[in-house]
Amino acid sequence: MLFIEIRCDDPTIIEDNIRSTKLSSPDYEDADPDEAAADFRARIAHYERVYQPLEEDEGAYLRVTGAGRGVTVRDVDGYLEARLVFFLMNLHLSARPIWLTRHGESVYNASGLLGGDPDLTPAGRRYARSLAEFLDERCPDHDDVVIWTSSLKRAVQTASPLDRAPWAWRALDEIDAGICDGMSYEQIQAQLPEEYEARRRDKFTYRYPRGESYQDIILRLDPVIIELERTRRPVMVIAHNAVLRALYAYFQGVPRERCPYLPIPLHTVIELTPHAYGCHEGRVPLEPRQDAGEGL
């Protein structure tokens, strides 16, 4: 057993927390902000009267104080406990946007083919320029935003007009289609009907022969998610359909079985702003056009 205690005695942090997060709780929907803040202060006072602080001799524990400014760990042993410690040490209360976008249209998108490492089409290059204009409007200070891309050409090329140095992650690469790489779904159905049917029955657990499944994608995105939680600056992630579905599902609390069916259209920026009770979401189509197929 691992005890986790999160304590804060700083009145400034507490007041900021009440105003920035607690007032967005469903408990205070449509309530006057000052009345809601007073009510929550009274709630804290009730908690304080009955709360029993964690004692030093109670076994393994992790104590976080001052909204993450101090962390104390005692007798933590084991992989899962260590992962929890690492995760909680990287959480913070800073509000910042996370922008998710697929790369611009690629040659394979236009042809309805899976995977590969193709270049952008002219429409994809136009989207890259539109994306640069969007980011300049939102973050005119170039040092104030982090750009992450996959290592594939179509994502790197989409980031090239941004005038900011991107950080390429192999973990953000598109799902590996294995022996189906470079094929269309029509070709898979005709040449590999058993694989086509297996994927249709259970898209989440289906693994392409010599390739990956959505389950595999989620596992390899673990370090990306930790870094997204840790980062306090705005982040733009330029990646691929399956990968962005998994990231979106994490932040929006979507059950993993629904992850493979989430709509992540081309040439659209999804803006997520994490808060205490989920994420605010906005979608900005920068160059409306018909999406070139379902994608992976």
Q: What is the pLDDT of residues 167-218, one digit of tens each?
A: 999 999 999 999 999 999 999 999 999 999 999 999 999 999 999 999 999 9
Q: For the beta carbon of residue 258, count every other beta carbon within 10 angstroms.
A: 11
Model pTM? 0.83
Q: Tell me which residue of 166, 153, 68 sits closest to 104, measured CA to CA.
A: 153
How confident is residue 296, by pLDDT bands cut at 50, 70 and 90? low
Residue 25 has pLDDT above 80, yes or no: no
If pLDDT is split at 50, 70 and 90, which confidence band does 294 have? Answer: very low
pLDDT bin (cut points 50, 70, 90) of residue 27 is confident
Which residues face 73 on adjacent strands? 62
Q: Are the C-beta atoms of 175 and 214 separated by less than 8 Å? A: yes
Tell me the C-alpha distance between 203 and 97, whole Å. 30
Burial of 76 (0-12, 13-18, 19+ CB in 10 A): middle
Q: How confident is the model at residue 160 (pLDDT cuts 50, 70, 90)?
A: very high
Mean pLDDT, rounded, for 150-173? 95
Which one, of 170, 138, 164, 137, lies nearest residue 239 by Cα?
A: 170
Cβ-based neighbours of 36, under 8 Å, separated by 6 or more:
22, 23, 28
Domains, the chain, in order of start with CATH, read 3-89 (3.40.50.300), 98-285 (3.40.50.1240)
Q: Which residue has the tokens 């929907």?
A: 29
275 has which bridge partners? 278
For the stretch 252-291, pLDDT in tens is: 999 999 999 999 999 999 999 987 667 889 999 997 444 4
Active site residues: 102-103, 109, 154, 174, 240
Residue 262 in tokens: 């989430």
Q: What is the mean pLDDT of residues 84-102?
A: 85
Q: Is the pLDDT reported for residue 23 higher than 80?
A: no
- Give the percent of the chain with pLDDT over 70: 95
3-class state of residue 3 by DSSP: strand
